[in-house]
Structure 1
């Protein structure tokens, strides 16, 4: 069974030069009684950090917004840095490393712009290294850990509470250099104890426990896991407690102490449900499934494996899908239910094959991107050398003018020509930079929006090909319908991508014409015909006609409907209502859902063109924003938590 490993690292909430409290209760009193000045901003920073530790992300974001307003009011440079830094902490905690990296790089620019103290730069190096570790980039993680250690020693700075020694230890452990790894882990633990950081001690103990787990020294691993759990409980860091509880459950199961193992798994389950976190809950359920399997309590084992499998499907954890399907195959084989055992074994094999194919495709894509990026960088470097050389030659000509007045006019003419050449080269450099960014965005879109549907199609087709005897006529028809629907949705996604890519071209213009909104509604109704559980209604009492580009508007409507369907997951009586009407010569279309709602920050990409497409974001709101801008369509959003969301298009 696969060992559960979840990264928990504490990103420092920066540094304080004013005396502010650090416990949750004392901070609440401070914020209610103290005047709103720069010290108040520092207190808000500490409060937001504690909220993140407790998993209260929405409240943390509101606190960060309050920090931002006060920092601007008092022109507080330290506050600017802390605001951006805390936004990175939130994205890191939400497992969005690409977005977190953007914030931490922005924080470093603020540090350099305002020449903030060296401790800020020390913190910045630490945060960037942690994000590389979350991304799985071991090379850059090691690079930044060593860079941070050297910076601290060179400037006689005390090491950070969350030190690079833990990162170096983790990388050495990955390469099975356990003795060296343990030295770094112990050094990191000693620093955490010196600083009396309960959270840091818990993280360090967890890392050391993982090392002994790899060495199959169960008793030593348990000793360090329990020490880490005690510190995490004292720090009230519940999310970290779940990781330690699950690790203890695994260890006691290996030691055949099933009573303690069940106690720890159950406690982890309780905290995960309280915090509403799915990834560790999946691991807790999987641990309980393993525990009951070893006890031959096959009914309970089946129950928790299936719960874990359902969460793995929801969060699209392909590696866990493979492991859990394999576990279920082993379980049903023990129960002599060979038909189900064969089904789950086949599913596991298909997923494993899909993982291999995705890895190959990803490696190929990475190599291609690195080649293209390297090629562009080389071209830019050559042009920069030419510009530098041209600048030097200009000074040579000026010197020649002073010595040779007779040919001064000729040299002046040459200098002017070279200046024009330099400007052209600079424009070329700018164009190359933009092309490189566009290519990166396009690869990101392909990576997110096409890989998943293709993997699903491969899964369905291989199952039909390799195990047709497992499917009756009804199941075969249902599988064919799903395959056809998946193929059609993939085609629509490709059309959307092509539409978006065309919108990025300078010479591509929309083709407006008079279209009936009823035809757009019919297209939407047909496209989402398979969504039987959701009631989608269309209201067009005025039989509205609009003069615009049909393909652009159709794509916008499809994407908004798709987003609304996603927002209705696990909602009772899910409904979507499309309306259209005209007032004062303006045509309006609106879509309303009764989902859970969202925050204004989540719709930032609709209005902010600086919000680029990332690996995690796909097309989504970026596509809607770009297409709407092209056809002069304005979009307004009204959302309420637990009530739903309404988008209004005006043309």
Structure 2
């Protein structure tokens, strides 16, 4: 036996686990290829639920994959459904505490009433499996309330059926009939609305209820239906479903006293699930095998047959006791006591009869019965409260309709008043616009006159300068010393006037910048400096260097940046009065602080006062005192650029532009 266990856990189990993992991975890959987003999560949850009884490992793996995908998609409802699936799989393995932990997580992730109701229903089923019927009904009624709130008839039908079935398990025929009739009412309502009626494990039929109605219904099951199920499961190689169909067919044969056929079906079912982790199903098959052998004993009176029946009953009882399936344990205890009585072991028969009473008391004690009554009363009160709330809502809606009517009249009055007021405001705005247009027209006339005057003032000094240069070049002999001095003074005076006129133009353009707003875009710095290289290509006595990465981009206004770069380059060129080996270097890089542009020259340098206009708006304005620096400062502020300067007389200058 030990060698077999070692072989199973050391060799067979790892291969089996690997096969399940491969199936789960293949299914997940197929889902991922076909679906995306939240649809992928929903499909994964749907497929996982299909494996809830036939392949626990695959169902768990797919549910965990759905949780991971739902986390990425920020889809809490998908996560809640996945945790519910894990709870269902744990319940099917009789891991009830684990199942409740999963259901608790599922409820924490969703506020969707439909999903909450489905989780409550699953919790109720888990409590039913452990024969805790008070808790089972508590959560079934919670589920029913949720489905009634959202008006989902299909889920109401299933839940009412489950409530009826719970009362049937408890032997309460009156309440079974009450809730069966409610389920049939919902079914009729669905059929009238042409909605599909969900299938249930035991079909509900109209008619009188007797104490053993469950047996009567089971006798009506068609053996051929399960024969077809067995055939389909065999073709699909689905052992769990085949075992389930064999079990149900075996039970039918037992009720028909066809012992040989029952034994054949039940033994085949047991062989399929012997190594399965689904212990509840194994226990149920073993119990019915005990029934089959006991039925055989009534036919052949063989003590060996009776011992075989006892063996199966005891195996089933141990599993039921360990899994806390108390209601099944009660029935099995009674049958064990009956077998011991037949064998003449009355002490054992008495012990198991007492054990049966203990299990029965644990399920149906007075406290539990009172709790069940309170649960039903609470549900009825909640249902009445909901009806009252609906009536109150109807009255409130009528009141709202009246309020809306009065409100509509008020809105019409206010709308008319608003139109009159808007017309008045439009007239005022139009009048203001006409005034602004007049002012704009006047400003354009002033600007035109300004440029006409400026054109005249610029032409005279430039004309004098050109006339003097031509005269000096072509007829220098015509000028005596006095004439030459007079023309030179006149030319200098004209040049100074020209300089002042240009200063006026720059001051005017600077004033226009107050209305300017930069337009940011991704600027390729390598392309920008390629343009700069072309602009200053004529300065052959200066060596230019550019260290700019090809793929470095900067989010800023390209025109502003281009103007700043050209002005800084021009200032550096103007600094070289008498310099040998003159050199200007532009470089750019990106670090943890942001993007940086830097211009360096080996010129004569300058004092801090000479760069004052780059940082101080109050510095004197003028072409002789750094108007270009004023423009650089203002443009840098517009594009949120920080300027840093390092310069010492005789040691060159470095100016850095930084963007965070």
Instruction: Give the TM-score band, short-chain normalised.
Output: 0.3 to 0.5
User: Based on CA coordinates, which of the two structures has the bigger radius of gyration?
Assistant: 2
Q: TM-score, normalised by structure 2?
A: 0.41
